[in-house]
Structure 1
């Protein structure tokens, strides 16, 4: 299954309703983060803003579904290397 149908000119058109479609989108977005780097919230926002204007909802989903791990203070984010893509 391809994610191209959800993007136009590199921008996410909408967040799909179906869970499997969301997983495709967020698996792809998680590839934009390096496993070796810690990111500030501002850096995460800048990366996600390039794909969708409501970057906060993307960031929340990535954290809530364990694609990114946020520290207890909400200041540092890291890619979850244990997240298994389906």
Structure 2
């Protein structure tokens, strides 16, 4: 039986938009830096931000390093919400 490769599951709220180039960069990062894949799911649940879940088996220490890159840089390039406009109005 083989071990499941690393996968990043991103659950995106329905009122958030995807930036195709950013999603492609996130896929590229997962493939080249981690050796894994990206799965994006939409949800009607009222989340404030996309939920990022590592699944599968990640090499020791790799999630900690990848998490910084993913959460601090790549997620904001891949997904956005204009919900803050509603709060300002």
Scaled by the length of structure 1, the TM-score of the pair is 0.31
Query: Of Structure 1 and Structure 2, which has the larger fraction of its residues in strand?
Result: 2
Q: Specify the structure having the higher radius of gyration (Cα).
A: 2
Higher relative contact order (CA 8 A, sep 6+): 2
Scaled by the length of structure 2, the TM-score of the pair is 0.31
